[in-house]
Structure 1
Amino acid sequence: MNTSEESVDFYNRLVYECKFWLEGVIIPIVGGIGVIGNSVMFYILLIHDLGLKPLFRELIMSLLVSDSLCVILSIVLFSLPRLFPTVYSLIIAPRLVPILLPLDEIALTVSIYVTVGVAIERWFSVCKPHTQMMENAGLIIISSIITGAFILNISRFFEYEVVSHKYTREELDGNKTFHYYLPQPTHLRTDPTYSKVSTIVSLFVLHLLPLCSLVILYKTIYKAIRARTLRLSTMNSRQMRDLTVAATLAIIVLVFLLCHSFKCFINMVELYAVIQDKDPDEYWGSGMSIVAAVSHSLIILNSSTNFIIYCYKDKKFRDIVSNGCKEILAEWRCW
């Protein structure tokens, strides 16, 4: 084996190891903890108001649901191929991938824009505290986000199709024909114009717009928090509560920006490729494969850490979670 072949073999092995540990090990562990934590947090918000405003509470509950769906779908799409390649290739890939991929994008889109919605609600709460919201504002906002996510990603349901393949095998009683099914890109997915438009829309709508919005909102909220900190002694309990929740939001936004930065970078590389009328696969070497695995892991980390941030930052929520867990453990011991 010459030096060139050894180098290729080394990088292929490196990509395999990175993807196995990031997507096959870290994602299921972190995602599993995240789904459990999100479920506990959802249950607590369902039975306790925690002194939160109704709109903020409804948005957080929607964020927990969309995050959990994103985690579950990502585990199926990215972790199962590393852990159970045979099951994935025979059962999941042939039938479910063309449906699960767009559903995962829809869940991610909802999660992104609910996060933006939470930031906007906190901006009103901190910077415009006397603004009155409609009674059903939460339902309208959440329904609009879900509808917009479906409209934005509806074309993804037509990007892949299940194609039947057949092969003939010689057996004792003669030749037999067997059929197997694989998902393949459709003509829409491979169309150059569609690739350009979808890449530009994805980069702008799913990355640049929400990321810039969150940075601007966070900066404004941070300035308001600093200004109010100077006069904490004149604030009532409700205002102090809003301030605590706003500070929690700041951490959530920072984690969001960090975890989505890799996916934004990948989209920018794809956009550069399609603008240059080149195949994005030309830029998709071993390094980009590792970046993609890191991106998947960070997005799952983001979807799994919101409940940890709340437990760390919000004492009232932390106390309720602690008491709830003690009650559950006490019931288990009685059994």
Structure 2
Amino acid sequence: MNGFDLYRFIVDVYVVGFLCLFGFIGNALSIAVLYRDRGKKNTTNWLLQTLAVGDTLYLMACVFIQPLKTINTQTNWIPGLKNTLPYLERYIWAAASIAQTITVWTVLLVTLDRFMAICKPLSTQLRSLERAKLTVTIVIVLAILYNIPRFFEREVVIEVNKQCNTTYVKVDKSAMRQSKIYFLVYKTICYFIFRAIGPLLTLIILNYKLIKALQEVRRRHEDLTRSGKHRENITLMLVVVVCVFIVCTLPDLFLRLIVAFREFFPHLTRGLQWHWLSAMNVITNMLLVINSSINFLIYCLIGKKFRKILTQMF
């Protein structure tokens, strides 16, 4: 095992494996605590539960495409994976993309909900639970439709070694995935508009306005009631969640920009070797897993009511 393989093995198997386990437990506890909250009919509360479900689905897919895939390619720990994981992998990548798309847009919905609650407090009809559920349903349907092409990006290839009389099953890029037009239109332009730059810019703007609104409330000391303090605490908690989301997502965006430039303008990235991009990809994937597993910790550190309910549960 060379240096890069060892580095990837440690990150994918041990680090990401631990993060996924922590995320499963943390998201389950988050859903349980938020469900027990007396204000569970609140739209923010319900959207945070939806976010925890989306994060859990993404982590489930990541278990297959990071720890198990690395174990399958670098060890013989689980021999049964050799001929089964490639058949699952072509679908798991698409499932992971669907879950991540739902997560991105759910974070945006929660942020928009808090923006309306703090900056437009009179618009209660726009923040009804029925509207939130309808919007999430639309997001889920659109996420599935948007990611349908990803189910056809990979194909299973069976290689036969006549000398050893053995077969080797692997996953390779399909002809559609290798098309430059497909890579430009779907993998680059559509990704940056609907999955990256568009949502991220909106999140940054809304988060900045939420931070300014919090500062204004604290400066004026206008809202000192118990419900007002709770509302301010929820907003602060969400601001931190969004900041962590942005920090964990931006490196993946930059890496995809580099890969796109390398694909269409190879002379501009001639000095950038592929193994460096692979090493960066391991880290960006780990950051995405961190984003889907750390919200429980944020809720515990900042959410006063969340800590109180969690303590009562145990």
| Structure 1 length-normalised TM | 0.84
- What do the CA deviations read for 1:93-113 (whole angstroms, capped 9, x no partner)? 321011000000111111111
One-letter code aligned to 2:157: V
Counterparts of 1:122-201 in structure 2, within 5 Å, are 122-132=114-124, 133-168=127-162, 179-198=167-186, 199-201=188-190
State the partner residue of 1:108.
Answer: 100
Alpha-carbon distance in 2 for matches of 1:94, 1:248: 40
How many residues were matched structurally? 307
Q: CA deviation at 1:166?
A: 3.5
- What do the CA deviations read for 1:45-104 (whole angstroms, capped 9, x no partner)? 22323x366211121111101101111211211111333444475144321011000000
Stretch of structure 1 that moved more, 58-67 or 284-293: 284-293
Q: Secondary structure at the match of 1:111?
A: helix
State the partner residue of 1:70.
Answer: 58
One-letter code aligned to 2:114: R
Q: CA deviation at 1:161?
A: 1.6
State the partner residue of 2:215.
Answer: 226
Q: CA deviation at 1:167?
A: 4.2
Q: Secondary structure at the match of 2:82?
A: helix
Alpha-carbon distance in 1 for matches of 2:272, 2:195: 22
Greater C-alpha radius of gyration: 1
State the partner residue of 2:193.
Answer: 204
Q: Does 1:274 align with 2:263?
A: yes
Q: CA deviation at 1:290?
A: 1.4
Stretch of structure 1 that moved more, 301-310 or 284-293: 284-293
How large is the RMSD of aligned CA atoms in angstroms?
Answer: 2.4
Q: Does 1:40 align with 2:6?
A: no
One-letter code aligned to 2:138: S
**CA 271–142 in structure 1, closer or farther in 2 if over 3 Å, else same:** same
Alpha-carbon distance in 2 for matches of 1:13, 1:137: 53
Alpha-carbon distance in 2 for matches of 1:180, 1:249: 47
Alpha-carbon distance in 2 for matches of 1:34, 1:236: 34
Would you say the 8 A contact 1:203–1:267 is kept in 2? no
Counterparts of 1:230-241 in structure 2, within 5 Å, are 230-241=219-230
**CA 71–264 in structure 1, closer or farther in 2 if over 3 Å, else same:** same
Q: CA deviation at 1:249?
A: 0.9
Alpha-carbon distance in 1 for matches of 2:306, 2:179: 50
Q: CA deviation at 1:191?
A: 0.8
Alpha-carbon distance in 1 for matches of 2:153, 2:266: 19
Alpha-carbon distance in 1 for matches of 2:51, 2:211: 22
Q: CA deviation at 1:44?
A: 1.8
Would you say the 8 A contact 2:83–2:169 is kept in 1? no
**CA 135–70 in structure 1, closer or farther in 2 if over 3 Å, else same:** closer
Counterparts of 1:94-105 in structure 2, within 5 Å, are 94-105=86-97
State the partner residue of 1:9.
Answer: none
**CA 102–269 in structure 1, closer or farther in 2 if over 3 Å, else same:** same
Q: Percent identity?
A: 23
- What do the CA deviations read for 1:144-170 (whole angstroms, capped 9, x no partner)? 111111121110001112234434458
Q: Does 1:119 align with 2:114?
A: no
Unaligned runs of 5+ in 2: none
Q: CA deviation at 1:238?
A: 2.2
Counterparts of 1:184-333 in structure 2, within 5 Å, are 184-198=172-186, 199-276=188-265, 283=272, 285-325=274-314
Would you say the 8 A contact 2:217–2:223 is kept in 1? no
Unaligned runs of 5+ in 1: 1-11, 171-176, 326-335
Would you say the 8 A contact 2:47–2:109 is kept in 1? yes
Alpha-carbon distance in 2 for matches of 1:39, 1:75: 17
Alpha-carbon distance in 2 for matches of 1:206, 1:164: 33
Would you say the 8 A contact 1:211–1:257 is kept in 2? yes
Q: CA deviation at 1:323?
A: 2.4
Alpha-carbon distance in 2 for matches of 1:94, 1:166: 15
One-letter code aligned to 1:70: Y
- What do the CA deviations read for 1:26-58 (whole angstroms, capped 9, x no partner)? 111122011101101111222323x36621112
One-letter code aligned to 1:240: K
